Amino acid sequence: MKKLLVILLLSGLVVFSLSFSKKNLRDIYSGPVAYWPAPFVDGGVKWNELGVLPESPVEKQRDSLKHIIELGKILFFDTRLSGSGKISCATCHQPELNWADGKEKSIGHEGAINKRNSPTIQNSWFYKRLFWDGRSSDLQDQAFAPINSEKEMHSEMPDVMRKLRKVNGYKELFRKAFGDEQIDPDRLTEAIAIFEKTIVSRKSRFDIFLEGDKKALTNSELRGLHLFRTKAKCMNCHSGPLFTDNLFHNSGFSGNDDGYYKVTHKEEDIGKFKTPSLRDVMKTGPWMHDGLQKDMHAIIEKFNKADLPAGKDKLIQPLGLTKREKKDLLAFLHAISAAPLEFQKPDLPE
Ligand code: HEC
Ligand code: HEC
């Protein structure tokens, strides 16, 4: 009798612990974020937990800003901002391509090849600094650059102003947006910047999972989420709801581009680039500042082996991921990628 009881008790224990270990990743990650396992981040790293796609700050002001947003949208698509009259911002930031251009390096004025890969402008409201090397501090300041850039739009602000002032339709659009018909560089870039802040990602399956649909992620994707936060140490840099620490690192892909050094002139910043958001990353290849990475398996393998050139960040270490783990990590990158939100291109004024 006693024996039987012991056996029963033991088997009960076994079943209990089995069901506890069965408290699998799905249950753990379906629970409150506060109970998620701690991420593997190195000492001194400031990180934020992953989370649901945050709202752009202009979302709440959409009504009061609607005329400025409309004007900015039109300007973004207007090729009259370029010297040749053939290139607009949207040439290199295309709505159907998640607002990137799908090219290794973007092609601008008269076929000039840019030095760097065109990043998506989705969620760019979030960045503290813009461009791969951080040389611009806000979207309005940034918008001057491509217009003047020889390789991009190859124009000059005074010429752009002259051209736009001749377009009757713009008088009304600027009046609605700013109260009078004056067309000047400051208003032009402000409107573009505010429009850009409305460009965000669509919610991914990861967001839908976080909002309570426990079936939104496959087992492989869940394992990938766990790996991303733990063994693969991606959270050392790609943390927070937008998967970026908003900082600059030498992740070993710098080639011979000085990157952030151009901004700070500090030796330690040679080869550092802005940590890009990974939202929609499977839609915005080829990857990295130089667009040289065209295969996500190869990128994951490079992070795994850490056999990257010297000078790389000390946060990049060999990971020892198995074949299956690498597959799971890739699956997770798919789960945080979504098709772009539908977008209606504007009619241009005459
Ligand atoms: C010829 C292609 C081309 C055109 C035209 C172009 N861009 Fe870009 N854009 C790029 C490239 C390439 C980069 C990255 C350059 C770098 O980091 O050095 C970039 C970067 C950006 C960024 C920074 C994103 C980030 O994550 O840091 C924003 C914002 C942006 N462009 C907006 C615009 C606007 C607004 C216009 C029109 C006024 C425009 N672009 C026109 C190719 C282009
Ligand atoms: C030390 C910080 C750091 C760590 C750790 C890190 N990354 Fe990155 N990641 C970066 C930086 C910086 C870039 C941009 C580098 C460049 O363009 O040369 C980048 C770029 C990427 C890109 C290309 C994005 C694009 O739009 O071109 C992918 C994909 C990526 N990382 C995935 C990962 C994954 C997966 C992990 C974990 C295995 C990881 N990263 C770990 C800093 C880091």
342 exposed, middle or buried (CB, 10 Å; 0-12, 13-18, 19+)? exposed
CB 319 within 8 A of CB 306: yes
45 exposed, middle or buried (CB, 10 Å; 0-12, 13-18, 19+)? middle
Neighbours of 211 (CB within 10 A): 10
Name every residue whose Cβ is closer than 8 Å to that of residue 243 and which is 6 or more positions away in sequence: 50, 277, 278, 279, 336
Output the residue whose Cα is nearest ligand 1's atom 34.
Answer: 89
**pLDDT tens digits in sequence order for the chain, 350 residues long:** 677 666 666 666 555 554 444 569 999 999 999 999 999 999 999 999 999 999 999 999 999 999 999 999 999 999 999 999 999 999 999 999 999 999 999 999 999 999 999 999 999 999 999 999 999 999 999 999 999 998 999 999 999 999 999 999 999 999 999 999 999 999 999 999 999 999 999 999 999 999 999 999 999 999 999 999 999 999 999 999 999 999 999 998 988 899 999 999 999 999 999 999 999 999 999 999 999 999 999 999 999 999 777 778 999 999 999 999 999 999 999 999 999 999 999 999 99
CB 309 within 8 A of CB 251: no
> Tokens representing 87?
């290139």
Which atom of ligand 2 is nearest the CA belonging to 249?
12
Residues with CB under 6 A from ligand 1: 87, 89, 91-93, 106, 108, 114, 116, 118-119, 121, 124, 127, 130-133, 139, 142-143, 146-147, 152-153, 192, 196
